[in-house]
Structure 1
């Protein structure tokens, strides 16, 4: 095939897909709309643009050059939003450090990413002071703080404090054009074994992801929309996959943005009520925590739209949220995919269904969003029938997938084996195109030669009225190969009443009715006080296996 390239006029402008155009060429130019950080800062889009320019002058004045890496350790804030733009817009790479990792893991990611400048919130100075002597690449440090007067003496040779430096910087900066394939961000996946893996994304990828997700959210019918009239507050950390890319969409739409800092339940609920938040995203454990908090009972949560991702949402949690008037639905992706690949929007006909019927759909992985080629394949990489029963691995192609793991050629080749990115998720797909993850390839449990889905069993147990949280793992068994072990946290006040035997019988009833594989009757139940989570709030099954097996 011979390509026929379009002729180019010598003076024509080659419009690169750069992050600066999300800020300066938005869908809605709303200069007086608010951007809020806790009860400490109220700015506008006009001040955001000025502060991004000032920050660019600060960074370049400190010697940051195109290709350098600027790292940040902060809670969700207006400062983080400014860094989302200013750092990549000067041609540097933004490394969003997961502040919930251990000090040794943080040290590893800083050295592995070869960070040149590190901006650190004063709350994390003890961690930085612990590892600073072993940092090989960092040439300078900037202090981030909500109150400079509260910062004591530190051994860190800071080159200034963020707000003071911005105040002294020029409000004018001419952001250059460069290749849209320039790396814009790096962060590290929250793996539960070994050291985290670095993933990276270009300006082009982030811009296309912004438009792809914005398209599906703005064209949804009846629910799950994100429009210019919404009020946005992330409850997924900004250090984790760009807060799912939603801050870029919020800025493009010119909506009111609310940044909560550290995730404290009563503070989150207070901000939802005070600022009239209508759109958020979080993992299931965060939603569970908020709904169970005493303050939630006195707050009107109706009209709040939430994308749930990072882990499977149980139907019990979904129904509870819907009962409170929350429009909750699933978004699917992973660190390697920027992240969003699919969403579980309902059709107008589905919205006429009962809450229980809706929950079954809202908890699915959903339908692939625009530009995502998502397939469920067998071991031979052939696509499986869309019959809602044939299970295989989800593999994908999209213009915003990481092209590999930073400095890890072998793992990159495994990730992209066969020209598709391998998610490691086992799923089925129905005739309408809705995908439902049945398990992770590493989490399925093989009982007497039959596969048992840990997610399906978790969903059943979560429906029991005495259950607060549940996680299911495989337990080695001489006779059966493996048996499911259900770790259950009872609701407050139920710990002394509900028994392991009662819960096991509850599971057997589902099997006797033919609603689930008969192999689940072999499940053991163990009541526990808490369930281990990863740094971003997902159930940590690797840690659970180590603890209980």
Structure 2
């Protein structure tokens, strides 16, 4: 067989050839821009020439602070195709974490959307290795600094000589770098090579995964700074699907307008985003919409059901981590159960689902023995495969996140049934041990969320002198609800064991979120200081 590397330059053939007429649109505040893949291919080659002009070394880290936009897409290709590493950075992190991440990665240059300059520029003197800052002008924003280190993106690529050939013989060359959210300790870098990105993109095209094809209009709402936007931009370019990128227009009403106007067929986001978008999708013309994917945390069945009833497309779940590229599981209805009633169908779609091709799963007990895949026995979910990290960036002495035989320890407690369908029971750190028995915070949250009067719920364990721990529930009611802690406890009777019902339930206007939109249990735990009695 021919020895051709599985690397991102392979995608250029489609971008510049058979898919050159397909389009990428970017929504800005008050307007949108559109370019063909063919035009973007030319800009990718010019951007590659600009990287050479700036004398950015091979294997150097190129940081990006950007929204989901055409320019960010150009960076997705030009940087790794020239044997450099694209380091996408979450601008919503705390300043100290941003400075730590840039310095730990030793970024040589930063590309920054103008609208994000006020986050990045005040930190410029804290970055030890950054030589250049390139501003991508995405509309009104902070004043662009008059500094010799600062360059204009469009001026750079207009003056650059396009690179004619991308020579990348080794598919194991590093291509992209993304840091974990750092919920415990400092963020850790995950380094993806060309082979893992290409293989991951291929799995997104498979029928039992996302079935992304040339006929699709893909809208990655999940940020491009977060795990390569779940690989969706690469899958779209590989298949020739059109891309509808939301840019800075991330308010729920703006997202709903883009889904309708761009005739989106496939979109993906975390559940908190989907909850906010739902009221703005009602009544819109969405004849092309075929699938909406939720990830980044448990998907409440109540929310998926609301989408099914009000939009005509249920939300379906997925599961993965920064360390897994990220997709590991994608929900679907088993072929031998096509006649499920609505409740069972929604409940099935809200499970993580079976593993995607090329990934292997196992369950391990605390004593090191493996649990059977019978849908009953639980253990820590561990993952292996060519799209799974083997260590963290910069670490050569191993990590407790990896087993001695090379499997990734996810920290999730799960069951797996004989057909491979995964059910996440809880995070190992989120299990609550009360009176010597375990309470699953995930199952308790799902039970609370079956109430139509509740918008969001989060459960943590709080110290208790008698029982060791007891569950504490934080609940956000839907607008206009008169729900009380007592009415919630009444609702839970018969749904869960009585001793699982929280003694304390706090009603909030909003539950704190992480910079990627997930519920932050770390922030909730920081409010717990003294044991209850």
Structure 1 length as normaliser, TM-score? Answer: 0.91
Alignment of 1:340-419 (within 5 A): 340-409=327-396, 412-419=399-406
Note closer, same or farther for the CA distance 1:544–1:301 as it changes in structure 2 (3 Å cut): farther
Distance in 2 between the 1:241 and 1:414 partners?
A: 18
User: Which digits, 9 at most, give the CA deviation of each residue in 1:160-185, with x for residues without a partner?
Assistant: 21122222323452111232111111
Find out whether 1:298 has 2:283 as its counterpart. Answer: yes
User: Which digits, 9 at most, give the CA deviation of each residue in 1:86-142, with x for residues without a partner?
Assistant: 000000011001111011111111100000011111122222232111211011111
Distance in 2 between the 1:352 and 1:28 partners?
A: 43
User: Which digits, 9 at most, give the CA deviation of each residue in 1:285-310, with x for residues without a partner?
Assistant: 1111111x4x3223245634122111
Partner of 2:120: 128
Find out whether 1:235 has 2:251 as its counterpart. Answer: no
Q: Aligned pair count? A: 523
Query: Structure 2 stretches of 5 or more lacking a match?
Result: none
User: Which digits, 9 at most, give the CA deviation of each residue in 1:132-156, with x for residues without a partner?
Assistant: 1121101111111124x86635254
Note closer, same or farther for the CA distance 1:522–1:106 as it changes in structure 2 (3 Å cut): closer
Contact 1:54 1:173 survives alignment (8 Å): no
User: Which digits, 9 at most, give the CA deviation of each residue in 1:483-523, with x for residues without a partner?
Assistant: 111100111111xx21111101211232xxxxx33431344
Bigger drift between 26-35 and 98-107 goes to 26-35
Matched position secondary structure for 2:115: helix
Q: CA deviation at 1:194?
A: 2.5
Partner of 2:73: 81
Partner of 1:260: 246
Matched position secondary structure for 1:332: strand
Partner of 2:145: 154
Bigger drift between 277-286 and 299-308 goes to 299-308
Distance in 1 between the 2:274 and 2:325 partners?
A: 22
Find out whether 1:547 has 2:527 as its counterpart. Answer: yes
Matched position secondary structure for 2:233: helix
Matched position secondary structure for 1:352: coil
Note closer, same or farther for the CA distance 1:372–1:156 as it changes in structure 2 (3 Å cut): same
Matched position secondary structure for 2:305: helix
Find out whether 1:142 has 2:131 as its counterpart. Answer: no
Partner of 1:505: 490
Structure 2 length as normaliser, TM-score? Answer: 0.94
Partner of 1:308: 294
Partner of 2:3: 14
Distance in 2 between the 1:79 and 1:472 partners?
A: 40
Partner of 1:45: 37
Alignment of 1:452-531 (within 5 A): 452-494=439-481, 497-510=482-495, 516-531=496-511
Q: CA deviation at 1:157?
A: 3.2
Note closer, same or farther for the CA distance 1:384–1:346 as it changes in structure 2 (3 Å cut): same
Contact 1:304 1:325 survives alignment (8 Å): no
Distance in 1 between the 2:179 and 2:474 partners?
A: 29
Partner of 2:82: 90
Note closer, same or farther for the CA distance 1:426–1:439 as it changes in structure 2 (3 Å cut): same
Q: CA deviation at 1:336?
A: 0.7
Query: Structure 1 stretches of 5 or more lacking a match?
Result: 1-11, 511-515
Find out whether 1:59 has 2:62 as its counterpart. Answer: no
User: Which digits, 9 at most, give the CA deviation of each residue in 1:434-479, with x for residues without a partner?
Assistant: 1100100000111111111111111111111211111011111111
Contact 1:27 1:253 survives alignment (8 Å): no
Contact 1:392 1:426 survives alignment (8 Å): yes
